Structure 1
């Protein structure tokens, strides 16, 4: 989603009065006033020339100079107040931008047994299948078996979660049918799922305040009759509010920030960094998808901003290992990077270009922002 952060223009300050110029004006006005008093006022002494000529000119100069200096002081004060209010507004939007969605459990089924861990090892060991779509590493025929696996793994990470599970949200690719998903989910959890294709579902947002545990399931599968153009993935995230986590002392695996959508990649990066108060040296893991043709200029921009990218692999391509991106690539990538944040303990930045050539950015961290 677009961040509704307003662009606040800088307040211009009037130039400071030029004292040298004003002194010259004072001398000229004093001389003109004296001459006018001598030749037009018909004064008979120097005292009268000073009183009726120079003194009024000086007073008139003081009036003009006072008005000019008052305007300058007013301009300075207005600019100071403007800057102060700008900082207050900016801090407000920084707090808004740094909102996070807490993840207490994360289950990932991917073509690699180690999931994202396979991409975090030595360069020589990283799988390379940029043009190949691959099935899941594990043989789990039928949706019910896959849901049972999710349930078991979620229980291991968050024991007793079913007692507090309030909602289940599903996003799925074309292989699955909504009716079948609803039936199988109800058999497993005694809850009918809800369906949503909104990006806000799996990133921090203001729309819904969580009252309990919410399970997010993403199903990107194949039809058993033929292979798709994208790899198979199934992920499940268990999310909760910070109040609920504190109340029941639940484990925190990671935190997912807001999704930032933009037509301008560099503008979005600068906004994300500024309003999340990121230090350039704190980000060493930048993951990309759908933008092989822009990687070089992206690296150049990040290095110009003094980002501490690794020399050997400044960007990590998900497509290089998992093949062409599928319809659920963004939420699946968020789930993958939740594991990456958990394994490395460091900040993960996801940059994805979708089919509409819009850029989607999301920050995933191991610990909550203060």
Structure 2
């Protein structure tokens, strides 16, 4: 059964509606194939291709625009996946005829099943965060532009005021306004008037000034010192405390979150499931550390070994999970089985020759897919499983 699950949600209505519509077409096709309605195969294949073409391709353009605005480093990979999607559409449109309707519909369903469970869960889940980054960048740019506009307005207002004051000053100078302050001139005239009234002539005043200047300068008085008894020295003056140097408080930077940490948010409260999830996170971490170990020259055999261990343990974990869901008659089991199957197929399809040619690049992409798939699957699917103590106790390693 194909239905739009919570783990398909990107948080962007336009994208989620496109995925929902495509899943509805897939469910209709699944029912027709299960019932053997051969007369419906051609119509359903065409309907799915139309949905893929009309909405999904437009949606891909929208996704790429969001990633461009947010400067997402995975844009090139997303474009490559979208180009592959379009090539599949074109290939099926060319090969469709009434003689191979059944095979065409089966191939389309297989492709879309992988697309949903691999591309959407591995890549499209990140579009929501990319949109948030793009919106934040737009808000920051708008605030910066508003600040620049206010600064320009203030500068223009200052310039206008300065230009308005300049003509007034020039007009005042033209009309003969004295440059020297009137108050200072009045003070000089008042002093001269007092001298004249006291009966002292100007020449006598000048002689007195000259005599005063010629007199020897008086020595400045020494500061009074406190007498001390003989043989004792005066106490040293108290030292002035030195100013404390300014201290700059440097706040420690927060360490980046560990992407491989199995934190409480991932716990389902089902003991064995949580233990196995934690082991899967650890295996992905080991793969990452092995790939980026600069002291190992030839590590290809070790890489193959850790990937095979990861695949085998994943298969075991999925079997344990499905056993638990069967024991409690969980209605989400079909979707879980489909998701598990697609994930194992992804691990089985790993090209070791490609890894040997480009170990770091190829494995970094694989690690990113594994980690993102695990996170999304646990948070949006596994955590919905109810914890039934009696059933949980029966599943053991």
Q: Which has the larger share of helix? A: 2
TM-score normalised according to structure 1 size: 0.21
Larger Cα Rg: Structure 1 or Structure 2? 2
